[in-house]
Amino acid sequence: MKRLIAVIAVLAAVAFPSMAFGLLGDELKITDHGSTAAVVSVSGGQAVQIDFKYSGLGSHTVTITVSAPFFCTNNGGNNPPGQISGSSGPIAPENGQVTGTIVTAAASCPDHMAPTIGPTVTVTLTLDDGSSRQFFYTV
């Protein structure tokens, strides 16, 4: 009986390798290869630009979302907060990796106040299987 169970387990692992690896907790090892984030001037104000390269995606399609906090200092010395973001469409990896550039929407403040963006930018990679991984950058 034990031999039969072992044979069935081996056959299942061969027939459904993705399930077998998932049961073993073998997650993708997504790696950042020198991605950078910077505040850039765009029409309408300032934005965040991320130049990225990520590997270890296998054949999973990925959507990348960039978000950054910002605030405006008003005449009363208060800092009302805001959030800017931008995202890619689904990207199919080549050789398990993706590269590109994403620019967020412009951060704008009323009454000619200048926005202060950051200090941390969050980049979220969402795979087609619903899993995600976050990276953080300082601007």
Residue 79 is predicted with a pLDDT of: 79
How big is the CA angle at 118 (ends 117 and 123), to the nearest 5 degrees? 115
Contact indicator for 13, 22 with CB cutoff of 8 Å: no
Task: Note the pLDDT tens digit of each residue in 36-65.
Answer: 999 999 988 899 999 999 999 999 999 999
- What fold characterizes domain 29-138? Immunoglobulin-like (2.60.40)
SS3 52: strand
* 25: confidence class by pLDDT, cuts 50, 70, 90: very low
* Residue 23 dihedral angles phi and psi, to the nearest 5°: -70, -25
- What was the pLDDT predicted at 43? 87
C-alpha separations of 70 from 74, 109, 118, 136 in Å: 13, 10, 6, 15
Element (H, E) at 39: strand 36-42
What per-residue confidence (pLDDT) applies to 3?
61
- pLDDT for 78 equals 75
In eight-state DSSP terms, residue 97 is: B
Are 33 and 52 contacting, i.e. CB atoms less than 8 angstroms apart? no
Contacts of 97 (CB under 8 A, 6+ apart): 33, 53, 54, 55, 56, 57
The whole-number pLDDT of residue 9 equals 54
- Evaluate if residue 20 carries a pLDDT over 60: no
Give per-residue pLDDT as tens, 83-139. Answer: 999 999 999 999 999 999 999 999 988 877 878 999 999 999 999 999 999 999 999
- pTM for this prediction: 0.76
Residue of higher predicted confidence among 1 and 105: 105
Tell me the β-bridge partners of 87: 65
